[in-house]
Structure 1
């Protein structure tokens, strides 16, 4: 699937040039905006992978727009376009969570590698978020299993190892994942283990 990119600049000729360079590079330009306010709306609606945005624009500048976009749509990476005279804004832009910078006028030789860098940072962030999500889920499942194990220990006067073994056996017999079985036990009581209890 092609990466979706939005281009934001108050100069229509610059927007057109960037669009052409991106399309020649195999990217998909999902939309365009002429100021920061439009950019925020566009990103919220389209949820692109990347926003390429000028800093100096009317209504709302690129840094302010970047700050809002980072809060609203954290999955969108931002590449800012800047003029030499705007180097003092680099610190502000970094704080706004911008992935990369390009100095105008923009050439294809500069644009495409910068786009690649910004998109690879986005992929790393996405992967990290996925890892964190899985880790949280694993911790939650562990907590449920521990609670259920406590119930089994109490009900059958078993030690920790024996209770865990009994739960694993029930999980294998019923072909229900251990975390699901534990969750069932917490909501429905020990019925989930009754068949194994009879055997043991």
Structure 2
């Protein structure tokens, strides 16, 4: 079951239709507080939460759900693509993002990937996050993809191949660079600003 938390009834209906197409049952909540209360009563496999909601916004809702469960995938629905917003959500325990307006193929692929990662996560709950906002299974997914590449890729090229949001890929690559696992190669090309490409060491 997928728990959908969004104050917009039309969006909840759209998501419900998309989830039914993907053969997932849904439960709906019109506010963050209601969503957390439903979460405690049900045992969803994944949570979809809107960023902009009155009273409890998506950030507070994500934090409250993560207090109750350290491993469940939480996908944030947002029109805001700013990296600082993404970082706040990742720090709070979100695992991925889906941009509005919602596109069915994108949402279905993200839900499938996040459910798959959750099932593959066999580490104890306390070790699911290897660092603040860094989920070990998502980290392994991105590293596993990079292992198979023969050339350095941009964030966009990596994100195109993985159903993971641009902001998420950016955050995990930054973490891998800090850990010394990935190197950044500046590609100056013919014109404009140089592009950063990433390659596993």
Could you state the TM-score of these two structures normalised by the residue count of structure 1?
0.59
Q: Which residue of 2 aligns with 1:129?
A: 124
Q: Which residue of 1 aligns with 2:11?
A: 14
Please state how far the C-alpha of 1:92 moved relative to its aligned partner: 0.6
Q: Which residue of 1 aligns with 2:90?
A: 94
Q: Which residue of 47, 54, 57 corresponds with 1:51?
A: 47
Query: Is 1:38 the counterpart of 2:41 in the alignment?
Result: no
Q: Which has the higher helix share?
A: 1
Q: Kindly provide the CA deviation profile for residues 23-61 of structure 1, in whole angstroms up to 9, marking residues without a partner as x.
A: 0111111x1011111111111110211010101101201
Q: Which residue of 56, 62, 65 corresponds with 2:61?
A: 65
Contact 1:81 1:103 in 2 (8 A): yes
Looking at structure 1, the residues matched to 39 and 100 of structure 2 have their Cα atoms a distance apart, in angstroms, of: 23
Looking at structure 2, the residues matched to 27 and 110 of structure 1 have their Cα atoms a distance apart, in angstroms, of: 15
Looking at structure 2, the residues matched to 81 and 107 of structure 1 have their Cα atoms a distance apart, in angstroms, of: 11
Gaps of 5+ in 2: 128-201
Flag the 1:87–1:15 CA change in 2: closer, same or farther, 3 A. farther
Please state how far the C-alpha of 1:78 moved relative to its aligned partner: 0.6
Could you state the TM-score of these two structures normalised by the residue count of structure 2?
0.59
SS at 1:6 equivalent: strand
Looking at structure 2, the residues matched to 108 and 118 of structure 1 have their Cα atoms a distance apart, in angstroms, of: 15
Q: Which residue of 2 aligns with 1:25?
A: 22
Q: Kindly provide the CA deviation profile for residues 180-200 of structure 1, in whole angstroms up to 9, marking residues without a partner as x.
A: xxxxxxxxxxxxxxxxxxxxx
Matches within 5 A, 1:80-159: 80-84=76-80, 87-125=83-121, 127-129=122-124
Choose 1 or 2 for highest CA Rg.
1
Looking at structure 1, the residues matched to 33 and 82 of structure 2 have their Cα atoms a distance apart, in angstroms, of: 20
Flag the 1:21–1:90 CA change in 2: closer, same or farther, 3 A. same
The alignment yields a C-alpha RMSD, in angstroms, of 1.7
Please state how far the C-alpha of 1:70 moved relative to its aligned partner: 0.8
How many residues of Structure 1 are paired with residues of Structure 2 in the alignment? 126
Contact 1:44 1:73 in 2 (8 A): no
Q: Which has the higher strand share?
A: 2
Matches within 5 A, 1:167-186: none
